Chain A
């Protein structure tokens, strides 16, 4: 099958033969060959045979003489050298018509491309044959010497030349540019993503560029034998790495294969190095045979993968590898083995380029996949975050609702309790009084008033702006003032301006209210006083304190008289004491028949932080 492929590729060659009518093909010459380290030989040589076959591992000089027919007309003629080098000096009838490089200086290598020379008509003899003399200096294993020459009219030569250039040199340019481009692109990808896949691909592509340079640049500024070794090693590495990638791309890279590929690179590099160091081209040929073997192994694995997974990508890759293999084998067979040196071209670079293009597709795929996976990850994360957010919202909402319910229920219970304890108990007492016979209307009225007061106070305690002690006292007075007035008790209101105080939650407010109400009621009912003084002071020290004092000018607590009242007194006082303790206040009662009763409350409060206003602002907003 391989030979079949080679035969197919060789069909290209006849393309040149077809247009060769009109051209003279010169394949024999008289030559003086002077190999280094060997005796010179003189005689007729077959230009199709290469110097490297005759004198392997030896450089030298050579001079070729070819007889050209006499000029027919004034048409300009030209020569096409399929390959000549390494440094050339062309003379026609002892006149120099062309130099390529300097004889003996290995810097310039003329063999890199096909060469042509225009022969000025003036120099051509019309009457007798012309002598074409080509002097060359040759470096070992550099494909030096003179091979087949074509002679004909400039137009035809140019035509052939141009086609050659196109096929070979332009192709080289394209490959070079392509490899550099792909190498640069993947290098950038590696730089951004730090994925070694991209990095190694970049290295492999750029290694391929070395070969392109070698095949097209005549005067590489690296000394000759070193450059040859470098080129060969780079080329081997390029091919081996590409095989490696092919396997990675289809996912068939096993540990064994990886080791094998690395081994091939090392072994062939050593062989190539030795080949040049020791001047044994056979080593290089052996080295070059590794590559197709590697290629075959890669092809086999890729094809198996393509069969198994039925993936179109794998099939495309298999075809590309097969193409490259075929091209490479063709080249090896033609050039190295068969020793052909005519206008044949090597196709390996074409094959490799196609292979590299296929690999580039994989690189693009991989990049695409990574981008897609990023997007998918992103989308997934977004979704999860959204989900969490929603859950959090729900949790918050339900928590808030719970808290709301809880606070509402607490408040409700408090109100219920207050109503029950306050108004409720008053009404029960009232009921008892009413059902008892001989109830005193005045006492009944008193009781009802108390019930009404209780109710008003309960409502007051619910109003906002009621954690302000000042407002609390003021409202209490506002409520009780009419009754005190009716009882003929003057009120001396000595309340200092109090700052906003905290810690007056509704329960505390109610306690204070009750205490005060109890005190006032005592004054109204029992004290027989004409005056009650309310004194409130605020002390701002280390521990801010409020001091409250209610003093009346009544008769105090007469002991013994009206035991029932004393009992009620006692109970009332106990209540007040208990409430004072509940809010953490100190409770002090002083009394005497002359001065009256004085009740003092003192407790610690916290000053509220300055706020812009009271809480609920039901006014205009």
Chain B
């Protein structure tokens, strides 16, 4: 399957294949010293969890956009991936035309979001309204009202274009909202890590 992806990317004029690896070790070794724009990670790697790879790479190259390859886009794995720092996902069973478009879109700043994930995020953010107290692990940064609206409309099945139209904003604005939402997941992760470290007495 990696060959398929490599072929698609090579075929696409606006994309250049930089590297392909079949194990996490290979990738990480190479990634440390080679900057790239987009990274596609399969969650089911043989030697290590794809999530861990994403976290490491995020650490190594924060500017790189990361996409997760998944079979169905089930929201359990998706949310974990987003928390780890992924910015988007690709379905493995998509057509090849989809693949190129998706990669370009991701690089351009667009992040796909499925209604189920939108619904899940809404629920999770609503579930902890005031739990962000100092004693407990800091809750996620709250969503802004606009972001909540975006999530709500996506959860109802509207496309980004329709969402932009309904909200009276530009499509790019909607995309940046979604990016921010994913970013808040990631930030949450970082903040929690800091909190944990404090708790453990590692930081002062």
Residues on A facing B (Cβ under 8 Å): 452, 456, 459-460, 463, 465-466, 468, 470-471, 473-478, 481-482, 493, 495, 497, 612-614, 617-620
Contact = CB atoms under 8 A, between A and B. Distances in A.
B60 interface: no
Given A456-B72, A459-B72, A620 B116 contact: no
A475 B120 CA distance: 13
Nearest to A618: B76
B56 interface: no
Given A470-B156, A619-B79, A614 B115 contact: no
B74 A495 contact: no
B29 interface: no
Given A493-B158, A619-B79, A463 B74 contact: yes
A617 B124 contact: yes
Given A465-B116, A474-B155, A613-B124, 7 more contacts: A460-B116, A463-B74, A471-B115, A474-B119, A478-B114, A618-B79, A618-B120
Contacts of A471: 115-116, 119, 155
Nearest to A498: B156
B102 to A, nearest CB: 11
A495 B126 CA distance: 22
Interface in B42-61: none
Contacts of B120: 465, 614, 617-619
Contacts of B127: 612-613, 617
B1 interface: no
A452 B72 CA distance: 11
Interface residues of B, number: 30
Contacts of A620: 83, 124, 140, 188, 192
Given A482-B98, A493-B162, A619-B79, A614 B119 contact: yes
B136 interface: no
Nearest to A621: B124
Contact of B93 (A452, A613, A617): A452
B103 to A, nearest CB: 16
A463 B188 CA distance: 25
A476 B152 CA distance: 16
Contacts of B123: 465, 613-614, 617
Interface in B96-140: 98, 114-116, 119-121, 123-124, 126-127, 140
A481 to B, nearest CB: 7
B12 interface: no
B159 interface: yes
30 contacts: A456-B72, A456-B93, A459-B72, A460-B72, A460-B116, A465-B119, A470-B155, A471-B116, A474-B119, A474-B154, A474-B157, A474-B158, A477-B115, A477-B157, A478-B114, A481-B159, A493-B158, A493-B162, A495-B157, A613-B126, A613-B127, A614-B119, A614-B120, A617-B123, A617-B124, A618-B76, A618-B79, A618-B120, A619-B79, A619-B120
